[in-house]
Structure 1
Amino acid sequence: MSVYGMGSLFCGTEEQLDNFVNEGFVCIGWKKEDKPELYAILNNIKIGDIIYIKALPLSSKTMRIKAVGIVTTALKTENTHHGYEECGNEIGIKWLKSNINKSINIDDSNINKRKGSLFVETNTEYIDKIISFI
């Protein structure tokens, strides 16, 4: 099992968390040709992995956890949801908790990767905290 952090704010202003939760999915708001490195990560996400939705503003060291879920379907290259319909990627999620709103103070060297749209979480201390929020 792997743990992944994802953002839910597209284009800087379009919050997608309600769409994700209501329709049981996640996606990223980037096209494959624009962010192939994100698609490399997406392709590694497997059923049973954990995904958490986070917010980590550029000038902050406090990551807010919004929701945690478990992957239920592998990556699709089409949209079956009604939310952000232009994403062209979709992973099914069973949301375990979707109204968390708890924070983690980030003090390791990987803070910049956590500010992005999608990343693999490797810090076991943070993983333990995320799981405790469920």
Structure 2
Amino acid sequence: VDADVWGFSIPRMLGVDQPPVVIDEMLVPPESHGVRCISMGFFADEDQPVIWRGPMLHKALEQFLTDVYWDEPEYLLVDLPPGTGDISISLAGFLPTAEMYIVTTPQPVAQKVAQRAAYMAEKVRITVKGVIENMSW
């Protein structure tokens, strides 16, 4: 689930260019390399900003989780936007047994954002399983 509605990038990263199809009022997500994905990128122009606030974000995330046919996956990975905003809080409510991996970079400012995300996870009772430091050479 590409839950980063403002910076959606997962379809492009997976090389997916076909949109989901609708079968029996459920979205069937496209698949690439054995990975199914759903993203705002399928519903918004790539160059247009998504200018949404809390209630609309909450509803979009809810639909990504409930109106998409995921079959029975072993895992559901959710790419969140940076920070601790509405999407992270909504996700904690929708998936109370979720576990989180925090992805950061070596820059101190990015690590502070990651630290705040970990504190937020603690407050909403989401277990942080680990931290992944990306782009550290």
- State if a TM-score over 0.5 links the two structures: no
Higher strand share: 1
The TM-score with structure 1 as length reference comes to: 0.28
Higher helix share: 2
Larger radius of gyration: 2
- Greater RCO between the two (CA within 8 Å, min separation 6)? 1
The TM-score with structure 2 as length reference comes to: 0.27
